[in-house]
Structure 1
Amino acid sequence: MDHFRTTFNIAPNPLDIDLHTPVFSIGSCFANAMGQRLQQNKFTACVNPFGVIFNPLSIFKLINASLSREKAAALMNDAAMVEQQGGWYHYDVHSDFYANNATALRQKLQHTLDTTQQFLQNTQVVILTLGTAYGYFLKEHRSIVANCHKVPQQFFDKRLLTVEEIAQGFEETYQALQNINAHLQVIVTVSPVRHIKDTIPLNQVSKATLRLACHQISEKFAQVAYFPAYELLLDDLRDYRFFKADMIHPTPVAEDYIWQKFTQVFMNEQTLAFLKQWGKIRQALNHRSFQPGSAAHQKFLQKLLQQLNGLKAKVDVTEELAHVKQQIL
């Protein structure tokens, strides 16, 4: 028994993500954190192509627009675009997603919708990371926005989404995904990143709403699994040591812990063995020698080159091989 922590077991899932499993990850900034770990470990992953998206209805809206020409056309509505400080932005995507003019923004968005559709048609796993149950609705059109882009708050209504709205939105999106890929699996999770601008009590209300929606969704659909990222940080780790200085975002150590749990739940022994092997190689690749021309370091590089060549049949290590070869004298 651990007298200083409350840990819990997560049952392994038969999903079995391996190196040949395309994964689509969308949602809050925590979706970036986990998606980037997939990419760093040589998985094929598409991560937040529209930027960070916090509320579930906006996530569903973007997925549906990627799968439907009609919904994509609706997304191109001029009323959804706004000019701010010399740049053009779209209410349905993150502020990192911008262009110098409306035409360029529309083209950029259409291209991203097209590439997202192509990826979703071939992916096997979709990870949805829900950040907040609060949504901002543009008063003029009564439509939810993913980002207000610093437009004055007087133009929006803010309200808590209901469990029913989220569950219904998911069901419609899930059906659209199933229509193009019947074998697709979905992982839903609640982001452990706290939204304290809503106040601490209302952040809890928001997270509880998301958690209830995820419970309903995962109970209803056999091909949907819930992963407890929120619970791992807030109930297992449960210490401010595992939060960054802003007391909102998890530290890399906390993210590594949650990632480790994720791999144990959704990956088989063979994939876990590769992750361990690749972790050592990545550490070696990041090594910086004070004597790069020394015999010892050159021997180290030759060994690393041999290890990378041994992985060529499994994963693409072209970039890593070039990096090592540049250092060999």
Structure 2
Amino acid sequence: MQWTTAFEIPSFEPKINHDTVLYSIGSCFSSTIGEKLQDRKFNMVNNPFGTLFNPVSICQAMEDSILEMPVNTDLILIRDGLYLHFGMHSDVVAYSKESLDRLIQKKQHLSKVQLEKATHILITFGTAWVYEYGNSDQIVANCHKQPAGLFEKRLLKTEEITKAFASFLSILQQFNPKAKIILTVSPVRHTKDGIPENQLSKSILRLACHEIVTEFPNAHYFPSYEIMMDELRDYRFYKEDLVHPTEQAEEYIWEKFMMAWIDPKSFPIIKEVESIKKDLAHRPFNVESPAHLKFLENLHKKLERMSHDFDFSKEIDQLRKQVQYRGK
């Protein structure tokens, strides 16, 4: 008896390996996949502006970065003594207007450098619902819990999304014509908009992705949304909020992504890095036992060996802290 609707995901080229350069931006699903790639030592810049949900803000952030546009200070606000920007997530925060300006410029520069050499760019659209600020028709990335009266909520049209993407791509291709774009629709449910409204939003995003990959040969679609909606069609694959996928669901989609996009030659490296992560998370019954001391010694040797090719400075520091703790 079959309990799920499986479907085939094509294998894409060129593959992602540990020599490729990656950039991820968009909804929290982009962050999830980006973190998994970062953790496995791929060259990844992951959501530098924090979680961005709508396609217009996502494309605008990348476009501004490549063009080195000055920060729009009219979109800076103060909340609880902190400075935020309507074009960024609340993760991008500072204690002064000048500090926030410098922080955003730094993130834009990081994005510009990575985008101009990226082999693969992962873009995840979260919602087609947008908020326009004041009377300016300026679409914001985040309302930052400001009064609803400051914004006008509306639904993006498909052509607005494709136009925003085409504008970004035309600029990117002047600097990096070979970059492959991996588009996906976030499986995270925006239920606060309403169930029918969320479905309408996702449908618009999916149609926009279809039109983009049809028009632009270097753009490809990865069906993370469809995997969640069809293969994992069960509330047990959602967290308690019934909005976000569980870790089990994320891992399942990650495995599908691996098979579709990652070069099998990188699988042994991924496996070894995952083994190191697992070893670092190990908590022994007796930290002073000879077996555990030997375990730490072998782990240190493994980290030193792999450090010739990848940055394991955080892991080595984590191991040192374990050793220091053992000595207390």
The TM-score by the shorter chain falls in which range? Answer: over 0.9
27-36 or 317-326, which moves further after superposition? 317-326
Residue 269 (structure 1) shift: 1.5
2:127 aligns to what?
A: 132
Partner Cα distance (1:183, 1:292) in 2: 51
TM-superposed deviation, 1:322: 4.7
Q: 1:104, 1:280 → 2: CA distance?
A: 40
Q: Deviations along 1:17-69, whole A, 9 cap, x unmatched?
A: 01121211000111111111111111111111111100000001111100113
* In 1, Cα distance between equivalents of 2:35 and 2:143: 26
3-state SS in 2 of match to 1:99: coil
- Aligned counterpart, 2:40: 41
TM-score (norm 1): 0.94
Hey, what does 1:212 align to over in structure 2? 207
Matched, 1:110 2:109: no
Residue 187 of structure 1 is matched in structure 2 by 182
Which structure 2 residues correspond to residues 1-329 of structure 1 after superposition, within 5 A? Answer: 3-69=2-68, 72-73=69-70, 76-324=71-319, 327=323
Aligned-residue identity in percent: 39
Q: How far apart, CA to CA, are the structure 2 residues paired with 1:315 and 1:110?
A: 28
Alpha-carbon deviations, 1:241-283, whole Å to 9, x = none?
Answer: 1100000001111111111111111112211222122222221
Matched AA of 1:223:
N
Q: Secondary structure at the match of 1:89?
A: strand
Q: Which deviates more, 307-316 or 214-223?
A: 307-316
Q: Once the 2 structures are TM-superposed, how far is the Cα of residue 295 of structure 1 from its aligned partner?
A: 1.6
- CA drift of 1:302 comes to 2.9
Change (3 A) 1:313 1:68: same
- Choose 253-262 or 146-155, whichever is displaced more: 146-155
Provide the C-alpha distance between the structure 2 equivalents of 1:323 and 1:103, rounded to a whole number of angstroms. Answer: 34
TM-score, length of structure 2 as denominator length: 0.94
Change (3 A) 1:313 1:162: same
State the one-letter code of the partner of 1:234: M
Aligned residue type for 2:78: E
Aligned length: 324
Change (3 A) 1:104 1:213: same
CA distance in 2: counterparts of 1:252 and 1:213, whole angstroms? 28
User: What is the distance in 2 between the residues matched to 1:312 and 1:82?
Assistant: 43
Instruction: Give the direction of change, closer, same or farther, for the CA distance of 1:137–1:322 in structure 2 (3 Å limit).
Output: closer
Q: 1:290 to 1:14 in 2, by over 3 A?
A: same
How far, CA to CA, are the matches of 1:321 and 1:132 in structure 2?
39
Unaligned runs of 5+ in 1: none
How far did 1:174 drift?
A: 1.0
